[in-house]
Amino acid sequence: GAVVSQHPSWVICKSGTSVKIECRSLDFQATTMFWYRQFPKQSLMLMATSNEGSKATYEQGVEKDKFLINHASLTLSTLTVTSAHPEDSSFYICSARDSREGLYEQYFGPGTRLTVT
């Protein structure tokens, strides 16, 4: 089956620093990748849709200058949380959609737990 990896699985950083999270599709090409955030006991919240070779599309209320997304290849997207603050502490999950026509299932990475101190 399709596998998506995410790195790191957890990270602790100090307030004001930046953190980069990588999302890779291991055995398929993904034109589109998605970044979600999930706070404890809450539903998934889509942050942005990342398209290979073009700018990401951010959801309303998500600061694009704070959450930098790069989708440089068909198998890699990165999310950089810049100048992180404690309120950015959350579970960040990426998903990838197979590029082949007619396939719309999203395959999820294992998630990255970010704690900002």
Return residues touching other proteins (CB under 8 A).
34, 43-44, 46, 49, 91, 93, 104-111, 113
Please state the closest distance from residue 108 (CB atom) to other proteins, in A: 4
Q: How far is the CB of 60 from other proteins (least distance, A)?
A: 13
Task: State which residue, 10 or 16, has the beta carbon closest to other proteins.
Answer: 10
Neighbours of 55 (CB within 10 A): 12
19 neighbors 85 (Cβ within 8 angstroms): no
H helical segments located in 25-101: none
Least gap, CB of 79 to other proteins (angstroms): 14
Report, in Å, the least distance between residue 83 CB and other proteins.
Answer: 26
Q: Which is nearer to other proteins, 31 or 82 (CB)?
A: 31
Alpha helices by DSSP H, listed for the chain, are none
Q: Which of 102, 72, 80, 101 is nearest to 35 (CA)?
A: 80
Q: Which is nearer to other proteins, 7 or 113 (CB)?
A: 113
What is the spatial distance between Cα 5 and Cα 69, in angstroms, rounded to a whole number?
16
